[in-house]
Amino acid sequence: MLSENDENGKFLKPYDPAATEGRIYKVWEDSGYFNPDNLPNADSRKPFTIVMPPPNANGNLHAGHALFVTLQDLMIRFKRMQGYKALWIPGADHAGFETQVVYEKKLEKEGRSRFGMDPKELYAEILEFTLANKSIMEGQVKALGASCDWSREKFTLDPDVVTRVQQTFIKMFVDGLIYRGKRTVNWCPKHQTSLSDIETESVEENTPFYTFKYGPFDIGTVRPETKFGDKHVVMHPDDMRYAQYKHGDTFDLEWINGPITATVIKDSSVDPEFGTGVMTITPWHSQVDFEIAKRHNLDMEQIIDWRGKLLPIAGEFEGMKITEARAKIIEKLASKGLLVSIDEKYQNVVKRCYKCSTMIEPQVKDQWFVKMAPLAQKAIEAVNAGEVKFIPDHEEKIFRHWMENTLDWNISRQIVWGIPIPAWFKDGDAIASLESPGEGWVQDIDTFDTWFSSGQWPLMTTGYPDGKDFETHYPTDVMETGRDIIFFWVARMICFGLYLTGKAPFHTVYLHGLVNDAHNKKMSKSKGNVINPLELTEKYGTDALRMALVVGNTPGTDLALREDKIKGYKNFANKLWNIARFILESTEGYDPSAALSENDQVIRSEFDTIIADVTKDMEAYRIYLAAEKIYHYVWDRLASELLEDSKQIFAASDEVASASRKALLRSLLNDVLKVLHPFMPFVTEEIWQSLSDTQGLLMIQEWP
């Protein structure tokens, strides 16, 4: 019998994750096996590689991080045990705009503002903030049991990454895939930067639709405050109602601030069915109008400044915020008898900044753009060829749909926190170069969209183009990440990978859903329903949290994280603990070579069938099923039936039957620990270390 003073006396008490996990993690880390080069027979192993999505180093880990760490660690531990050279590369993302937004909020709380700050000073402050967060996050990733190779950890601002990202930019510029363009961009007046199309949210809103008298025409608009400079009236060339007006005709009219001269433009992009079939254009503040103006070579003028206030062209309205100006402008037009009608029920799509919900102001600005069409074409081809597979597979349709309709990507950001764009300007010329091309050239002060660098992450982490891991570990195997960043990240990684190496950076994309609260509502600070995963690991143990995140959680589906579910798996960890205790106690001095009785052989092969089934599920990434199957075997079959049955056998005085059963239980326990290890690494390793017939770390045992 076990006693308190025995080496294994700990089994007399319930399993204590808090006293176990840190110690076990250190044993693993010290073993060096997180680095696959140190694994037994490393050279003959086939590589299996996962690049960890680098968490944004601007805050604590949230429940979504816990999910991806768990899933990826599961895959890695499974493959490592299966004999692969399993490499999981951790990292951290400086997360350009995201981090800058977080830091600006912090400044705001301190009564400071980034505007007016010295850019170098601001950069240094954010860097310090980011590095501090990065180190906290590393500790949190470890607490979740991540068996990633810390010796290969990368940060998106590592000097080699920065240089390589800049070189990609230059290469794309030379290849004609990046151009400098004066085009309509999504401008956030609060954050004072342009944003890509996917960094805006289109929200349908009720906005009154005004119709004004514009000379002989009635024109409609939802934005009267932009209309000061409108001097072109556009209609469809085939619209017979306006056949008497010829393209290029001019006419005089009374407008907001007095008489102006307007010109008739015929353009087939105008929908004759909409409104009166006539509109005026504001090319500087509307993408559509900009396109029309460009087609007809019309001049364009800025009406609203970068802060969202009216410029001198607005006359008496100069300096007013557009929101306050609108009502006053309508009032003035009405008093002049130019207001025809108001449709109060009009539904309009408004773009908003995805971070602050400020209304995006379209502005014309010189920016760097990536030509997406040729890149997207290659990506679609790769998917068609089966080079990249999506789990769940319907995500492929979503990917395809986006890729087929993708617009050029604005990669310039007017913020300091990011990788500098290696570009130089002189007399309207723009070129890409790391060094100054000569006298008179001025360096671009913009930085890259953070996804321009993270899009190259699988290349950076494996040492593209000639690093030691590139040959062995690129293309990687699985990209496991959130469904919500399929466009931001997955699509771009595939494009960059194909462009730079001709190979997609991974063959499988496993997309998980969101981790929501217990009622399946999205977690948010404002709702106060944010669950901190680290608190859960402290309360229930990491193994319990991991199981709760994994069981029944199908890829692509959101998960409702319930504390009672985690508690259930804490009980399971304890159940396993007590199974071990029972087996240890009742098989003392057993004979490992005892022959199994016929019945025990059946029991053994029954478990072999379960193992084969679990293995199949794991290989097909049906982790949610694999977890449930092994759980049920352990609890319902092994504990509830086989252990109970064994008590009878041990009580009867049949030496042969007892010897057989003892050998059976030990063999079942060993393999249960192995199969459960990827799911519940801590408790299984802890038990493994207490068994007399086992050697080395469970972590590197051969999968049964």
Residues 175-214, interacting with RNA (CB under 7 A): 197-198, 201-202, 204
The reply to whether 306 sits near RNA by the rule CB under 7 A is no
Q: Binder to RNA among 36, 145, 277, 458 (CB under 7 A)?
A: 277
The reply to whether 341 sits near RNA by the rule CB under 7 A is no
Nearer to RNA by Cβ, of 201 and 331: the residue is 201
- DSSP conformation letters of 58-111: TS---HHHHHHHHHHHHHHHHHHHTT-EEEEE-EEB--HHHHHHHHHHHHHHTT
The reply to whether 394 sits near RNA by the rule CB under 7 A is yes
Please give the residues from 61 up to 90 whose contact with RNA meets the rule CB under 7 A.
none
Please give the residues from 484 up to 543 whose contact with RNA meets the rule CB under 7 A.
487, 516, 518-520
Please give the residues from 219 up to 258 whose contact with RNA meets the rule CB under 7 A.
219-223
The reply to whether 348 sits near RNA by the rule CB under 7 A is yes
Backbone angles phi, psi at 413, to 5 degrees: -125, 140
Nearer to RNA by Cβ, of 321 and 637: the residue is 637
Binding mask 655-674 vs RNA (x if CB under 7 A, - otherwise)? --------------------
The reply to whether 437 sits near RNA by the rule CB under 7 A is no
**Inter-residue contact 29 to 457 (CB < 8 Å):** no
Helix (H) and strand (E) counts in the chain = 21, 27
The reply to whether 545 sits near RNA by the rule CB under 7 A is no
541: alpha, beta or left? (left if phi > 0; alpha if psi -120 to 50): left
Nearer to RNA by Cβ, of 47 and 272: the residue is 272
Nearer to RNA by Cβ, of 118 and 344: the residue is 344
Binding segment toward RNA, per CB under 7 A, in 67-75, 171-179, 618-626, 670-678: 618-626
The reply to whether 579 sits near RNA by the rule CB under 7 A is yes
| DSSP annotation of 379 | H
The reply to whether 635 sits near RNA by the rule CB under 7 A is yes
- DSSP conformation letters of 122-138: HHHHHHHHHHHHHHHHH
Angle between the N-to-C axes of helices 533-540 and 542-550, in degrees from 0 to 180, rounded to the nearest 10: 120
Binding mask 371-390 vs RNA (x if CB under 7 A, - otherwise)? --------------------
Task: Tell me how far apart the terminal alpha carbons of the chain are, to the nearest angstrom.
Answer: 30
Nearer to RNA by Cβ, of 354 and 464: the residue is 354
The reply to whether 554 sits near RNA by the rule CB under 7 A is yes
Nearer to RNA by Cβ, of 60 and 508: the residue is 508
Measured at the CA of 372, the angle between CA 308 and CA 379, to 5 degrees, comes to 140
| Least spacing, CB of residue 393 vs RNA, in Å | 8
CA distances from 107 to 116, 307, 590 (A): 12, 19, 67
The reply to whether 397 sits near RNA by the rule CB under 7 A is yes
3-state helix, strand, coil in the chain (%, to 5): 45, 20, 35
The reply to whether 288 sits near RNA by the rule CB under 7 A is yes
Measured at the CA of 345, the angle between CA 343 and CA 349, to 5 degrees, comes to 105
Residue-level length of the chain: 704
Binding segment toward RNA, per CB under 7 A, in 174-182, 308-316, 318-326, 571-579: 571-579
The reply to whether 287 sits near RNA by the rule CB under 7 A is yes
Number of residues that bind RNA (CB under 7 A): 74
Q: Binder to RNA among 122, 270, 500, 536 (CB under 7 A)?
A: 270
**Residue 329's closest CA among 343, 310, 344, 345?**
310
Nearer to RNA by Cβ, of 166 and 186: the residue is 186
**Inter-residue contact 555 to 391 (CB < 8 Å):** yes
**Inter-residue contact 85 to 42 (CB < 8 Å):** yes
Q: Binder to RNA among 320, 334, 643, 657 (CB under 7 A)?
A: 643
Question: Amino acid identity, residue 357?
Answer: S
Nearer to RNA by Cβ, of 431 and 691: the residue is 691
Nearer to RNA by Cβ, of 192 and 207: the residue is 207
What span, in angstroms and rounded, lies between the C-alpha atoms of 481 and 274? 43
**Residue 682's closest CA among 562, 536, 579, 537?**
537
The reply to whether 620 sits near RNA by the rule CB under 7 A is yes
